[in-house]
Amino acid sequence: LGIFGNQNNSWNLKINSTVNMWWGIDMQFFLSYASPVATQQGEIKRFYNIDAALKKDITDDLTVTLRVTDIFN
């Protein structure tokens, strides 16, 4: 491994969930997480992101979506 070596174990997680609500409106949740990563220069800190969206099909060709990105940041 040597003087400048660094061991690295990392993982990530992505979850996407859709809930069918009233009047044909769908609520979607997106969760993304990445664990800390060791690099030669040090470490990249953990990263997470949570998004939410409401979706409504107006016609077969038209969908309206309201999305909020990175809710807790």
Residues 6+ apart with CB under 8 A from 1: 7
Token pair for 50? 């949570």
CA 33 to chain centre: 6
> Is there a contact between 11 and 32 (Cβ–Cβ < 8 Å)?
no
pLDDT per residue over 8-48, tens digit each?
678 899 999 999 998 999 999 999 999 888 877 878 888 89
User: Does the pLDDT value for residue 6 go beyond 70?
Assistant: no
